[in-house]
Amino acid sequence: MDTYDITVIGAGPGGYIAALKAAELGARVAIVEKGSLGGTCLNLGCIPTKTLYQASQHFATYREYAKILKDPFVRKSDLAQRAFAHAMETKNRVIASLRTQIDRLVKLTSIDVYKGSACLSSRNEVNINGRKKIYARAVIVATGSTPVIPPRFDIDRTRVMTSNEILGLRTLPESILIVGGGYIGCEYATIFSNYGVDITLVELLPKILNTEDDDVVNEVLRSFRKRRVTVHTNTRLDAVDMIGKKLSAVLSNGCSVTADIAFVAVGRSPNTQGLGLDTLGIQLNQQGAIGVNERFRTNRNDVYAIGDVIDRELRLAHVSEQEGIVGIDNILKCTNDGRMRYDVIPTAIFVEPEVASVGKREFQLKKEGIDHVVGKSWYARNAMAQCSGSTTGFVKLIADKTTHKILGGTVVGSHASDMIGTIATAMNADATIRTLAESVWFHPSRPEAIKEAAGAALRKIK
* Dihedral over alpha carbons 173, 179, 183, 188 (to 10 degrees): 0
Phi, psi of 63 (to 5 degrees): -60, -40
83 pLDDT above the threshold of 70? yes
Peptide bond before residue 151 is cis, with ω within 30 degrees of 0: no
Predicted confidence band at 422 (pLDDT cuts at 50, 70, 90)? very high
- Beta strand 261-264 with 175-179 is parallel
Domain segments of the chain: what residues?
2-147+269-342, 151-265, 353-461
Lowest mean pLDDT across 40-54, 239-253, 420-434: 239-253
311 pLDDT band (50/70/90 cuts)? confident
Q: What is the pLDDT averaged over residues 371-397?
A: 96
Q: How far, in Å, CA of 1 to CA of 186, rounded?
A: 48
Say what the pLDDT of residue 70 is.
Answer: 66
Q: What is the pLDDT averaged over residues 255-277?
A: 93
Question: d(Cα 75, Cα 83) in Å, to the nearest integer?
Answer: 13
Cα atoms found within 13 Å of the Cα of residue 36, Cβ hemisphere only = 14
The whole-angstrom separation of Cα 429 and Cα 244 is: 59
Taking Cα atoms as reference points, which of 410, 402, 405 lies closest to residue 434?
A: 405
Task: Name residue 116's amino acid.
Answer: G
CATH number of this structure's domain 151-265: 3.50.50.60
Helix (H) or strand (E) holding 202: strand 198-202
Catalytic residue flag (residue 443): yes
Provide mean pLDDT across the span 299-326: 91
Q: Tell me, what's the pLDDT at 437?
A: 96
Q: Is the pLDDT of residue 73 over 60?
A: no
Cis amide leading into 444 (omega within 30): yes
Over residues 51-71, mean pLDDT: 82
User: Which pLDDT value is given to residue 154?
Assistant: 65
How long a stretch of residues is the chain?
462
pLDDT band at 50 (very low <50, low <70, confident <90, very high): very high
pLDDT of residue 285: 85
Residue 188 is classified by DSSP as: H
243-252 burial, b at 16+ Cβ within 10 Å, e below that, comes to eeeebebebe
Count of CA atoms in the C-beta half-sphere (13 A) of 428? 13
Task: Report the distance separating Cα 426 and Cα 24, nearest Å.
Answer: 29
Q: How high does pLDDT run on average in the chain? A: 92
User: What percentage of the chain carries pLDDT values higher than 70?
Assistant: 95
Examine the pLDDT at 336 and tell me if it is beyond 80. Answer: no
**What is the predicted pLDDT for the residue at 68?**
62
Separation between Cα atoms, residue 194 and residue 262, nearest integer Å: 18
> Is residue 5's pLDDT more than 90?
yes
Measured in whole angstroms, the distance separating CA 357 from the mean position of its chain's CA atoms is 12
Quote the CA–CA distance of 307 and 222 in Å, as a whole number: 34
Beta-carbon contacts of residue 13 (< 8 Å; ≥ 6 apart): 38, 39, 41, 42, 307, 317, 318, 320, 321, 324
Q: How much is the pLDDT for 275?
A: 93
Provide the pLDDT confidence category of residue 442 given band limits of 50, 70 and 90. Answer: very high
CATH number of 2-147+269-342: 3.50.50.60
pLDDT in tens, 148-206: 888 777 656 678 899 999 999 989 999 999 999 999 999 999 999 999 999 999 999 99
Active-site choice (58, 86, 415, 443):
443
pLDDT confidence bin for 396, thresholds 50/70/90: very high
pLDDT for res 74: 54
pLDDT at 462: 67
Residue 445 to residues 14, 406, 436, 449: CA-CA distances in angstroms?
A: 33, 22, 15, 8
Please report the pLDDT score of residue 288 as a whole number: 87
Q: What is the pTM of this model?
A: 0.94
Section 107-123 average pLDDT: 92
For the chain, the helix, strand and coil percentages under 3-state DSSP, each to the nearest 5: 40, 25, 35
Question: What pLDDT was estimated at residue 124?
Answer: 84
Is-same-fold flag (151-265; 353-461)?
no
The kind and range of the H/E element at 449 are helix 448-461
In the CATH hierarchy, which fold is given to the domain comprising 353-461? Answer: Enolase-like; domain 1 (3.30.390)
Which segments within 283-371 are labelled E, that is strand?
303-305, 347-349, 355-359
DSSP letter (8 states) at residue 406? E
